[in-house]
Amino acid sequence: MAVGAVVVTAAELKFRPTYERAYAQAQTPWVAFDANFVRTEPGQRKVVGFFHRSADGSTREESNIDGPSKPVVLIMNVARRLQYRLEDSAWHSFPIYLSPNGWRPEKIDHDSRTYRPAPAIEKIDVLRFVNPQGLVWFIAPRLNDFPLKTERPNGGRELFSSISIRDQPAGLFEPPPGATVHVHSDGASGVIWYPAGEFPR
């Protein structure tokens, strides 16, 4: 794994071309929840994992992208302004740069001409949106427009399931107690591009 300025590995970009973004000016609170997910790409091994988001916008994603015996964990800890990564059984931390005003969900205008009602996913209402490149999102307004389902033009798919809207333990957004963390002074800058969700803007 390349470390240093690299915050998202090439493998992650290949399997996780999604991102989550937010702007400080919006005042809507984050909705905390957890879910399972499945990601598939044509000709690639299926990726499964778990996703958690806390009420402050911190996120944790754990997957088998590197194989069932080598779990990969990606954590964005908003309070500490750090991204933690577990790869090859080693923890690393990178700084993330947020507005002093905090990290808030982006406010999206759901224009009925482009955001259309779709069948609910696990009883959660969703809107279907197609971007100019043909990427299809099924976003959940109840979850700050988080995409519970994504369909890519190349046939790739992403689906979240077993969705529970509830508070998340703070310890999920930290490395385990006593873990050795390799600290890096470089990392993402400006608005965070994080591969745990996707907004159609």
Which pLDDT does position 169 carry in this prediction? 97
Token representation of residue 64: 């088998």
pLDDT at 6 over 80: no
User: Which range, 6-10, 67-71, 103-107, 130-134, has the best average confidence (pLDDT)?
Assistant: 130-134
Q: Quick one: which H or E segment has residue 34?
A: strand 33-40
Confidence of residue 192 (pLDDT cuts 50, 70, 90): very low
**pLDDT > 50? residue 103:** yes
Mean pLDDT in residue range 144-156: 96
Asked if pLDDT for residue 96 goes beyond 60, the answer is yes
pLDDT band at 152 (very low <50, low <70, confident <90, very high): very high
Q: Which of 44, 7, 23, 36 is nearest to 99 (CA)?
A: 23
Which pTM does this prediction carry?
0.79
Q: What is the pLDDT of residue 78?
A: 92
Average pLDDT of span 27-52: 93
74-93 pLDDT, tens digit per residue, is 999 999 999 999 988 899 99
The pLDDT score that the predictor gives to residue 187 is 62
pLDDT band (50, 70, 90) for residue 27: low
CB neighbours of 69 closer than 8 A, spacing ≥ 6?
Answer: none
Scan for tokens 């965070």, then name that residue: 192
Long-range contacts of 147-151 (CB under 8 A, 24+ apart): 147/18, 147/197, 147/198, 147/199, 148/35, 148/121, 148/122, 148/124, 149/121, 150/18, 150/198
